[in-house]
């Protein structure tokens, strides 16, 4: 993001999430969440019925299992979409960012996310 708007730029590592992973010490849990959600939708899409889905990525199934209870507090339904290698899909321009869900852009319900990406990945 810049003062004049969005500047599309892809890091050499493939995505912002993958780049951040290279900066973290070994063994540090790493998740990617919210980059696909427009700021205006973060509060307005929370606590809906059916729930708006919050896709997230994690460096491991163990990290995903640890973070899920925290993400549930947001009023969104956490949806484990896979590992950090998929970061670009959650970032601007990726399919999770482009989906036009029931609650607005990038705020889809479970049925819509499953149609986009298949069933949720299971964590440990």
Q: What is the pLDDT of residue 54?
A: 92
Taking the model in full, what pTM does it have? 0.82
pLDDT digits (tens, 9 = 90+) for 67-120: 999 999 999 999 999 998 898 888 888 888 888 888 888 888 999 999 999 999
- Structure tokens that stand for 122 in this block: 């299971």
What are the pLDDT digits (tens) for 27-52? 888 898 887 777 777 888 889 888 89
Provide the pLDDT for residue 70: 95
pLDDT in tens, 6-31: 665 555 557 777 777 778 788 888 89
Q: Rg of the chain's alpha carbons, rounded to an integer?
A: 14
Nearest CA among 9, 8, 28, 3 for reference residue 84: 28
Burial of 43: CB neighbours in 10 Å, binned 0-12, 13-18, 19+: exposed
pLDDT score at 67: 95
Residue 75, token pair as written in the block = 């009023």
What are the angstrom distances between the C-alpha of 23 and each of 20, 30, 66? 5, 11, 21
Q: Kindly give, in sequence order, each residue whose CB lies less than 8 Å from that of residue 60, ignoring residues fewer than 6 positions away.
A: 29, 83
CA angle 107, 103, 98 (to 5 degrees): 40
Token look-up 């321009």 returns: 93
């Amino acid at each position: 993001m810049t003062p004049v708007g969005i500047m599309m730029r892809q890091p050499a590592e493939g995505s912002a999430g993958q780049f951040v992973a290279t900066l973290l010490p070994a063994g540090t849990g790493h998740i990617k969440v919210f980059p696909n959600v427009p700021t205006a939708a973060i509060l307005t899409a929370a606590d809906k019925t059916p729930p708006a889905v919050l896709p997230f990525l994690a460096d491991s199934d163990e990290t995903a299992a640890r973070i899920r209870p925290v993400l549930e507090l947001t009023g969104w339904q956490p949806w484990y979409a896979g590992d950090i290698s998929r970061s670009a899909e959650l970032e601007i321009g990726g399919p999770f960012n482009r989906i036009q869900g029931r609650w607005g852009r990038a705020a889809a319900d479970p049925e819509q996310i499953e149609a986009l990406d298949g069933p949720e990945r299971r964590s440990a």
